[in-house]
Amino acid sequence: MSKYIGESVKRVEDKRFTTGKGRYTDDIVLPGMTYAYILRSPHAHARINSIDTAKAKNMDGVVAIFTGKDIANAEINGVPCGWQVDFKNGDTMHEPPHPLLVADKARHVGDGIAIVIAEDRYIARDAADEIEVDYEILDAVVSPEKAAAADAPRVHDELPNNMAFDWSLGNPIDEVDAAIESAHHVTSLDFVNQRLVANAIEPRSAIGHYDTTNDHYTLYTSSQNPHLIRLLMCAFVLNLPEHKVRVVSPDVGGGFGSKIFHYTEEALVTWCSGQIKRPVKWTAERSESFVTDAHGRDHVTKADMAFDQDGKITALRVKTYAGMGAYLSTFAPAVPTYLHGTLLQGLYTTPLINVDVVATFTNTVAVDAYRGAGRPEATYLLERLVENGAHEMGIDPAELRFKNFIPAFDGVDQPGYQTQVALQYDSGNYEEVLKKALEMVGYDDLRAQQKNASERRTL
Amino acid sequence: MNQVSITVNGKKHEREVSSRMLLVHFLRDVLQLTGTHIGCDTSSCGACTVLLDGKAVKACTFLAVQADGRQVTTIEGLSDGNGSLHPLQEAFNECHGLQCGFCTPGMIMMASDLLARNASPSEGEIRHALEGNFCRCTGYHNIVRSVQHAAEKIQSNA
Ligand code: FES
Ligand code: FES
């Protein structure tokens, strides 16, 4: 290894990318391949009264059109969620079906209504324009917090409310409440960690290829997670034995998490290929990526941090409403829970922590793991509280952190550090790290300059 | 349908195309030159950048019929074809100017247009020239370094 340490190591894969010889999913052309366009709901919430595909089906070059009814009639399941978080009272998580195409109602802008398969991309899109859908527009709910209200529009009619699950972690809430009530100082903040689109530069793409002679399927997909997609698609969606299905992820043009999940389009092109006995390619347009790629974040949080008169943190209380979107994406429940609550000890000795999460369905695109997934949200709120607490109490923010750091422990002679929120840290020396960082930036000078500048009322 | 004659990477292609066919689909679907990518289909990302008579254009917002009788250069035609790479292609590897590589052909084509106009651009000029090209992976610094490095290579060979 030593010849690599401190050396610049050139990537071995670059030549194909710099010469235009990369092989991304949409670059693949199979003999007899058809092109799919998916007609999507322009409404956040709408009942589908009827769909008329007759005109589109008769157009030259159209091979087949399938709607949500066809999928339901074929008894194809929806894509599953792969992570179960049950309610605090033990009730099972609400996991409503996420059909490949919806038959009864659209639950977010971009929900799939029909797939048009044609000889080329242009025809598929033209034909989709000729499909008549009679929508009855319903009231929509988009805020994770408002979705929890009893009178909020119901995203899934079969559920008693919009709750996917609720969850908590840490110390008993009454102990945390009591510590906050009796504290010397409490810093309270409201956070909106807004939803975002991952926007990998390569739009998602999938090709389903059913080989009639061998009764075997191949799915090419722009994915970070081909093995798991094969498992989920075979076992839960299409009911196929895994040895009959090969999933290929060729070069992938960025993902940042958004290409880890099992998407409806993957199972849809695979199934369609079996129906028409020809390969079916679907590639998202950018505007389609916005309304079909899993989004990130969407947390609405209220948090309180309690301090004693010396600036020691005595308690932390976090209440988060986590928007799941209209359906539970593959890992969505893990993000605001196990990947979020467990980070709230941070680097501090806070003795009492309680985090409470309510996950709700909204008429929005499904949310899932994106760059850090739950952990940046936790770290952001924690450090904002510490920073604001310092300013409110007139203590230097670095000083406040030094007061509260977990003392250095190496995890060998000293044991690991057991947090209040399940994790055990292996080792850490936060004080030294911050000291070094302060030295490197010339912290005291920076603060002096800052003071000077604000006295002169300039930035 | 329209008869067009488009010279791509030095080779003349005579084809029938529909009036609405985009140049990027002509390159990718008709000629199977898939090095030119589609990232947005709305002239925002620059992944589809090619040279038309030596000048950079976004092929997703250009009709194949508009290229009739003209010369197109794609990423596949940038080097001399004898196995050696264009200095930009070398520099992107040497300066770690790419990760997933999806934006890279567009970046390189745009940069080649810049270097043809300005043999030793400043950092600011490079950033200005590449402002229509998005990269979601690298954070751009190493792309700028790659272009600077390529400019130096070309100058020292001149
Ligand atoms: S695909 Fe042409 S600019 Fe994005
Ligand atoms: S290298 Fe991935 S988008 Fe630029």
Q: What is the CATH number of the domain that holds B153?
A: 1.10.150.120
Q: The domain that contains A27 carries what CATH number? A: 3.90.1170.50
Is A441 contained in some domain? no
Dihedral Cα B141, B146, B147, B151, nearest 10 deg = 140
| Beta bridge pairs of residue A243 | none
Is-contact A344 A378, C-beta < 8 A? yes
What ipTM did this prediction achieve?
Answer: 0.96
Of A8, A17, A29, the CB nearest to B98: A17
- Domain co-membership, A328 together with A285: no
The reported pLDDT for the residue numbered A9 is: 87
Q: Rounded to whole angstroms, how far apart are CA atoms B15 and B9?
A: 16
Look up residue A405 and give its DSSP letter.
B
Instruction: Give the chain B residue whose CA is nearest to the CA of A21.
Output: B35
Q: Rounded to whole angstroms, how far apart are CA atoms A377 and A191?
A: 10
- Domain co-membership, A55 together with A125: yes
- Say if strands A417-418 and A163-170 run parallel, antiparallel, or are unpaired: unpaired
- pTM here is 0.94
Tell whether A309 is within 8 A of chain B (Cβ): no
- Domain co-membership, A172 together with A235: no
Is-contact B22 B60, C-beta < 8 A? yes
Of A10, A121, A201, the CB nearest to B102: A201
- Say if strands A424-425 and B2-8 run parallel, antiparallel, or are unpaired: unpaired
The reported pLDDT for the residue numbered B11 is: 96
- Say if strands A299-307 and A313-325 run parallel, antiparallel, or are unpaired: antiparallel
Is A308 contained in some domain? yes
- Domain co-membership, A202 together with A272: yes
Nearest-Cα distance to chain B for A133, in Å, is 26
Expressed as residue numbers, the domain containing B40 is: 2-77
| Beta bridge pairs of residue A248 | A220
Backbone dihedral angles phi then psi of residue A124, each to the nearest 5 degrees: -60, -40
Of A8, A24, A199, the CB nearest to B136: A199
Which of the listed residues A290, A325, A341 is the one where a domain comes to its end? A290
Rg over CA atoms, chain A: 26
- B39 C-alpha to ligand 1 centroid (Å): 5
Look up residue A110 and give its DSSP letter.
T
Backbone dihedral angles phi then psi of residue A297, each to the nearest 5 degrees: 65, -120
Is B82 contained in some domain? no
Sheet holding A299-307, edge to edge: A163-170, A353-361, A313-325, A299-307, A185-193
- Domain co-membership, A252 together with A393: no
The reported pLDDT for the residue numbered A255 is: 96
Q: Which of A340, A37, A337 is nearest to A205 (CA)?
A: A37
Is-contact A83 A336, C-beta < 8 A? no
Cβ of B48 below 6 Å from ligand 1: yes
Query: What's the domain count of chain A?
Result: 2
Q: The domain that contains A327 carries what CATH number? A: 3.30.365.10
The reported pLDDT for the residue numbered A1 is: 54
User: Which residue has 């919430």 as its token pair?
Assistant: A45
The reported pLDDT for the residue numbered A234 is: 98
Tell whether A286 is within 8 A of chain B (Cβ): yes
Which of the listed residues B50, B77, B104 is the one where a domain comes to its end? B77
Which atom of ligand 1 is the closest one to the Cα of B46? Answer: 3
Is A454 contained in some domain? no
- Domain co-membership, A271 together with A356: no
Q: Do A253 and B101 touch (CB under 8 A)?
A: yes
Q: What is the pLDDT of residues B94-148, one digit of tens each?
A: 999 999 999 999 999 999 999 999 999 999 999 999 999 999 999 999 999 999 9
Which of the listed residues B77, B96, B113 is the one where a domain comes to its end? B77
Dihedral Cα A152, A154, A160, A163, nearest 10 deg = -70
What confidence tier does B157 reach under pLDDT thresholds 50, 70, 90?
Answer: confident
Expressed as residue numbers, the domain containing A163 is: 146-196+295-404
Q: Do A200 and B100 touch (CB under 8 A)?
A: yes
The reported pLDDT for the residue numbered A456 is: 77
Is-contact A321 A144, C-beta < 8 A? yes
Instruction: Count CB atoms within 10 A of the CB of residue B19.
Output: 9
Tell whether B84 is within 8 A of chain A (Cβ): no
Tell whether B105 is within 8 A of chain A (Cβ): yes
Local structure of B116: helix, strand or coil: helix
Q: Whose CA is nearest to atom 3 of ligand 2?
A: B135
- Domain co-membership, A131 together with A227: yes
By the 10 Å C-beta count (0-12 exposed, 13-18 middle, 19+ buried), B45 is classed as: buried
Helices (H) and strands (E) in chain A, counts: 12, 19
Q: Do A27 and B40 touch (CB under 8 A)?
A: no
First to last CA, chain B: 46
Q: What is the pLDDT of residues A381-416, one digit of tens each?
A: 999 999 999 999 999 999 999 999 999 999 898 889
- B42 C-alpha to ligand 1 centroid (Å): 6
Is-contact A65 A53, C-beta < 8 A? yes
Supply the DSSP string of A130-141, one letter for each residue. Answer: T-EEEEEE----
Length of chain B: 158
Is-contact A56 A128, C-beta < 8 A? yes
The reported pLDDT for the residue numbered A195 is: 96
Is-contact B82 A12, C-beta < 8 A? no
Extract the residue ranges of chain A whose pLDDT is less than 50.
none
Q: Which residues contact A323 (CB under 8 A, 6 or more apart)?
A: A143, A144, A147, A195, A298, A299, A300, A359, A360, A362, A364, A367
Residues of chain A neighbouring B136 (CB-CB closer than 8 A): 199-201, 254, 256
Is B118 contained in some domain? yes
Q: For residue A50, give the amino acid letter.
A: S
Q: What tokens appear for B44 in the block?
A: 């925002």
Instruction: Count CB atoms within 10 A of the CB of residue A256.
Output: 19
- Domain co-membership, B104 together with B151: yes
Is A47 contained in some domain? yes
Cβ of B99 below 6 Å from ligand 2: yes
- Domain co-membership, A268 together with A306: no
Q: Rounded to whole angstroms, how far apart are CA atoms A325 and A368?
A: 9
Q: Which of A125, A108, A106 is nearest to A117 (CA)?
A: A125
Mean pLDDT over each residue of chain B, to the nearest integer: 96
Q: Rounded to whole angstroms, how far apart are CA atoms A276 and A119?
A: 12
- A14 C-alpha to ligand 2 centroid (Å): 12
Instruction: Give the chain B residue whose CA is nearest to the CA of A290.
Output: B40
Query: Which of B37, B49, B104, B140 maximizes ligand 2 atoms within 8 Å of its Cβ, making it the mutation to test the pocket?
Result: B104
Nearest-Cα distance to chain A for B63, in Å, is 14
Query: Which of B28, B38, B62, B131 maximizes ligand 1 atoms within 8 Å of its Cβ, making it the mutation to test the pocket?
Result: B38
Of B32, B99, B104, the CB nearest to A29: B32
- Stretch (H or E) spanning A228: helix A226-232
Cβ of B145 below 6 Å from ligand 1: no
Q: Rounded to whole angstroms, how far apart are CA atoms A63 and A87?
A: 46
Q: Do B75 and A20 touch (CB under 8 A)?
A: yes
Instruction: Count CB atoms within 10 A of the CB of residue A152.
Output: 19
User: Which residue has 């990518």 as its token pair?
Assistant: B37
Sign of CA dihedral B110, B112, B118, B123: positive
Is A266 contained in some domain? yes
- Stretch (H or E) spanning A219: strand A216-221
The reported pLDDT for the residue numbered A455 is: 78
Q: Rounded to whole angstroms, how far apart are CA atoms A239 and A323?
A: 30
Local structure of B142: helix, strand or coil: helix
- Domain co-membership, A169 together with A245: no
CA angle A379, A384, A388 (to 5 degrees): 155
Q: What tokens appear for A383 in the block?
A: 């450090």
* Helical segments of A22-61, H only: 54-57
Is B103 contained in some domain? yes
Residues of chain B neighbouring A252 (CB-CB closer than 8 A): 100
Q: Rounded to whole angstroms, how far apart are CA atoms A205 and A26?
A: 6
Cβ of B44 below 6 Å from ligand 1: yes
Tell whether B49 is within 8 A of chain A (Cβ): no
Nearest-Cα distance to chain A for B125, in Å, is 22
